[in-house]
Amino acid sequence: MSHIDAIRLPAPDAVQMTGLLGKRLDAMRLNRLPHQEDYHLLWPFQEHCPAGMEIKDVPHPEIARADWQGEFIGTWVAAATLAAVNSGDEALRGKINGLVAAWLATQEGDGYLGTYDATDRWKSWDVWIHAHGMVGLMHYYRHMGRPEALAAAVRMADLILREFGPGRRSLGGGLHGGMASSAILEPVVWLYFETGDRRYLDFGRWLADEDWEAAGGPAILSSLAAGRGVAGTANGKGVEMLLDFAGLIELYRATGEARYLSAVLTAWDDIARHQLYITGSASSGEHFRSDYLLRNDGYYMVGETCVTMAWMYVNLALGRLTGEARFYDMAEQALYNHLLAAQSPDGRGWAYYTGLRDNKRYRWHTDPECCPTKGSRALAMMPLHIFGIRDDGLAVNFYEPSIASLPLPSGTHAKVEMSGAYPFDGAVRLKLSLEQPAQFAVHLRQPAWCSKLRLSLNGKRLSGARDTDGYLVVDRVWRAGDELVLQMEMPVRVAADHIGNPGHVALVRGPLVYAADRSYLPHGEALEELVLVLEAEDHAAQIVPTPVEDGSSVHLLAPVVGRLPADGPGVWSDERYRDLAYDGAMAGYVTLVPFFEAGNRDPNCYREGVWPNYEVIAGIPEFRYLVGGMRGLAAHAAPTDATYQVWLPYVIS
């Protein structure tokens, strides 16, 4: 028995975002998506992966370096399709049509749409590439009405079913314990929904129930049930595991069988409790690590953008499935902090990793990176989730200023205009336009960060009932011109992390985490010299939110004292090394900026090619990928000169 979602998605062109997210999406649509070189996405399919640098630690090292590049095109097509349909961008739509036509021209007679010669098939990233390809084609089919895309996806899936399954080849034991190939689960179940062909559902069941649990498989269901957590499941690889969870959610939607959802919720609880940075992402070195091991420095390859996207994706899927606000809370935390921090403000570049003490590396070319396309997809899918459709009315899941046309239970549509300056201000206004009066419920998510709010209707205070899912519900007969105003208080909060950052605090306001940015410091000051001054009673009493002149952000002015070498003899007499001490006097105020802004005024963020503050290994420029763990990954390596940091030392005045 299948499960019916608590919240259904509007059409991709039903909601136009007009605030911060809308500006970022428009910037990406104009400055990145149409300028993506077709050849960069097509060459693995047209030429197949050429001989290159040896890949270490994979079953077949003879296959070329970076041979996962075939995944990029499917994710790009998914992101570009959503962006083009949402905006009505005909030029982008034309680019997608041409690119997909060239891509499908490489599909072989047996359905193979991959990047390897026949002798190298099924040894490396083939199934992972097919999974991403099917995701892109299904988006293209659903939202742009292209039947050839569905036909190509069916041929791909049928090939997978001929190669893998009961009595045939296993998907386990491959890359990342079989979790990479298992990303095929989600699009295969999608094909079941689209075609009604039970072979696809049966394959999904076999994969999760039998193949994962066979020798060499990732044992996702049993490992999580046994309490091993995400770090102890398979090899703990972040994005692969999260995409497998997305597949399990679809399998639960198709079957209603609790064990599939139970595994995802167990993992969700583990990640939320033990694996999340305060900025909403997870992973270091692309893996889930030991509980609470959340390093700050970029050296550790913190918060891979693929993981940020996939964590958001799982939460949005769970929110739609259950209608529970806690999942949208998690998606919001990642969205406004780690995801936007990974995107360059002009929408063109993406960072692969974004540490909490780091400098940013926004890069245009994706070669050989997955993160720019996945980051683009995460942003492009947001118009689908700002509002939701419930059986009894509408849900407001995010407070991004937007204009929407949404279906009502009566069969008519409501036009909704949501205005305000969220996430910088907690005042949100919703104005409804209806052809005729209609009774329905409006569900307003009460964010987890919000403890005090006021709700009014047409200027009069209103007491909305809070439901068990974390929403305020206003159920009434609505008329044209009705206005709901939600005023959420946004005090500055001082967050402590006694496990990982003792003696340091982070400042948070609303959904935004703040950071110290070197470019805002007085001349000659260093990030390492900052010490926040907190009041003894009300710690944030002297921290002042300050809107910037153009209204594009809100900064914080925070009092600081200096931290200087002490007078008198040092560690060794007459040497340069002296004890560190506070000078005891206020040094003034420092400007702190939202994490997504931090470091962006450093011109090195946008440099192409060689990065002077990153090491070069074996003569290979930093932006080239050298497999080998934590050692010298150039654009992935350690900053020698951080431009921002989140966690700051403090004293109590």
Domains of the chain with bracketed CATH? 390-423+426-488 (2.60.40.1180), 492-652 (no CATH)
Mean pLDDT across the chain? 89
Q: Tens digit of pLDDT for each residue in 525-580?
A: 788 888 999 999 999 999 999 999 988 999 999 999 866 666 767 777 666 777 76
Tokens 């992973």 label which residue? 283
Using pLDDT thresholds of 50, 70 and 90, give the confidence band for residue 582: low
CA distance 430 to 419: 7
Percent of the chain with pLDDT over 90: 76
3-state secondary structure of 145: coil
Using pLDDT thresholds of 50, 70 and 90, give the confidence band for residue 648: very high
The pTM score is 0.93
- What's residue 489's pLDDT? 97
The CA R_g of the chain, rounded to the nearest whole Å, is 25
Q: Tens digit of pLDDT for each residue in 457-466?
A: 999 999 867 7
Tokens 């396309």 label which residue? 373
- What's residue 54's pLDDT? 42
Using pLDDT thresholds of 50, 70 and 90, give the confidence band for residue 51: very low
CA distance 317 to 399: 18
Using pLDDT thresholds of 50, 70 and 90, give the confidence band for residue 63: very low
- What's residue 1's pLDDT? 63
Burial of 171 (0-12, 13-18, 19+ CB in 10 A): buried
| Amino acid in the structure at residue 75 | T
H helix count then E strand count, the chain: 15, 22
**Residue 635 and residue 363 in contact, taking contact as beta carbons nearer than 8 Å:** yes
CA distance 569 to 553: 46
Give me the mean pLDDT over the 224-237 stretch: 97
